[in-house]
Structure 1
Amino acid sequence: MTETNNAAEADRAVKAKHRKMWALGDYPAVATQLIPELGPTLVRACDVRSGQRVLDIAAGSGNAAIPAALAGASVVASDLTPELLETGRGFAAERGAELEWREADAEALPFADGEFDTVMSTVGIMFAPHHRAAADELLRVCRPGGTIGLINWTPEGFIGQMFATMKPYAPAPPPGAQPPPLWGREDHVRELLGDRVTDVEAHRRTVRVDRFAKPEDFREYFKTNYGPTIAAYRNIGDDTERAAALDRDLDALAQRHGGGGGTFVMEWEYLLFTARKRG
């Protein structure tokens, strides 16, 4: 019993750190200013329509949940971080969308088996530390014959490479945690879902990011707004040499992905994955 209690306490501590990290900066700005088309892209891929019951896991401020609600579905937007949900409520009100917002852990969802027609996540579920647990929950709450839809950053794409770049500077991951960009590998997602799904479709696509004039602009924007980047710099603390080294590494990464032709435009690769839960 003590071992079980210790494991539960450790998991609560991990989730508290995740919750705090995603509340840093301004992730809703990142979602709305840099990647606003990802949510509608997933909603279309899942063929969300009126009358359906839809769950958006790790919904953040509603990048996919709000478009799903505007398509006429009955939507629940769930996320571990209440600050993101609160911002999402404001966004939904501005757009005239009605949906439910629920604080929830992707690895222990507070919903019944088979409750939803469509279960989706846009660059969200990938950050749950235990991939198998999150995948099992994703499937559990989807009805037989229902739709699974995911957009996740690939390991080889810009955001996947950004996490690899930040890794030496960032806090150590908790024991048993898997790297988020693995969710951007088709074979990894297929292995997680196994024979519990059919009609799998997986496509690598990119989203164009042209907001920044130069790599340094990107770096400063992420240092200000993106929780994982803020956490990496905070982990460095007052070590100015390491902070300068991370600055240089992020600038070099951005330059490799966005340089050339006299402009600074990046194409961020993601995996669009859809399937049906086996009936």
Structure 2
Amino acid sequence: MNPNKALWEKGDFTKIAESMRASGSAFVAQLGITKGLRMLDLACGDGNTAIPEARLGAEVLGVDIAGNLVEAAQARAKKEGLSNCTFQLGDATDLSEISDQRFDLVVTVFGAMFAPKPFDVARELVRVTRPGGRIVMGNWIPGDPTLVAQILKISAAYTPPPPEGFVSPMLWGVESNVVERFTSAGVAKDDIAFFTDSFTFAISCTPAEFVDLFRKYYGPTMNAFDAAEKIGKADQLQRELEDLFSRQNQSGNANTTSIPANFLRVTVTRR
């Protein structure tokens, strides 16, 4: 199986995505969506941004590599009666089933950054966007002191080194890398804009209980715990993550969790 597909089908990301719903809707509200806008939501998960996009009247195609998340997104759209939102399996590195210049707006929030072959991802993002259209990415920032970068940093200390040739997904959070990837796909540097933004994880449980959700359902964290178990350090990893989540919790209530995480918002204008 494709390793990236296996990673995202391993757990049940919907359990984490529930904590991201409000921020997903807030992100979409800033995109200037109008009725009938043709949109691709790439690496869409269970529809965290695709569903709000459809609510605003866009014609949305959501694509994800994980079959379980595509099914969950389809169920959410059906429940809300959103006939203008469809979902299908697909790989961000190869969207050959999608015609050139099909979309007015392409969005990928913490999604396509995890696909291998980033230059292929950039090429496909540009190819399926019409001239005059936009590409908007949300990418986690490496080394950032906020939640997600720190989860991945802590987890990496317990896992074996990645295979030779592995390209960290976090490099999508470095402006120079983003510029290199999109200019190689034919985009002018001046048509790429950056903004550091924040996304809040909010859920009605304690920080320790939120860590347990990551341990049970979030593929990268599940892999870290699998590796830590083999070296007898799973409890140590648990303590480190619980300390991180508790320190960064801004809810003001020990029984609920609200943690902001910084990300790089990338906007590409297609000429």
TM above 0.5, yes or no, is yes
Output the amino acid matched with 1:88.
Answer: A
Aligned positions of 1:25-64 closer than 5 A = 25-31=11-17, 33-64=18-49
Does the Cα contact within 8 Å between 1:80 and 1:103 map onto a contact in 2? Answer: yes
What SS does the aligned partner of 2:203 have?
coil
Q: CA separation of 1:259/1:52 partners in 2, compared to 1, >3 Å: closer, same or farther?
A: closer
> Over residues 55-82 of structure 1, what are the superposed CA-to-partner deviations in whole Å (9 max), with x where a residue is unaligned?
1110111111112222222211101111
* TM-score, length of structure 2 as denominator length: 0.86
Mapped contact 1:153–1:181 kept (Cα < 8 A): yes
Q: Which residue of 1 aligns with 2:95?
A: 109
Out of 202, 224, 233, the residue aligned to residue 232 of structure 1 is 224
Distance 1:97 1:133, change over 3 A: same
Task: Show the counterpart of 2:194.
Answer: 202
| TM-score, with structure 1 as normaliser | 0.84
1:169 Cα deviation after fit: 2.1
Q: Is the alpha carbon distance of 1:174 and 1:50 closer, same or farther for their aligned partners in structure 2, counting shifts above 3 Å? A: farther
Candidates 221, 225, 245, aligned match of 2:236:
245
% identical aligned pairs: 31
1:201 to 1:38, Cα distance in 2 relative to 1, 3 A: farther
Q: Equivalent residue for 1:100?
A: 86
Q: Deviations over 1:127-166 (max 9, x none)?
A: 1122222111111111111111111222203101211111
Paired positions, count: 262
1:97–1:262 Cα change, 3 Å: closer
Consecutive unaligned residues of structure 2, counting only runs of 5 or more, are: none
Distance, in Å, in 2 between the alignment partners of 1:142 and 1:232 is: 36
Q: Which ranges of structure 1 fall in alignment gaps of 5 or more residues? A: 1-12
How large is the RMSD of aligned CA atoms in angstroms?
Answer: 2.4
**1:196 aligns to what SS in structure 2?**
coil
Could you tell me whether the CA contact under 8 Å between 2:208 and 2:246 is conserved in 1? no
Q: Is it true that 1:274 corresponds to 2:267 in the alignment?
A: yes
- Larger deviation: 245-254 or 131-140? 245-254
Q: Structure 1 residues 265 and 50, CA, compared in 2 at 3 Å: closer, same or farther? A: closer
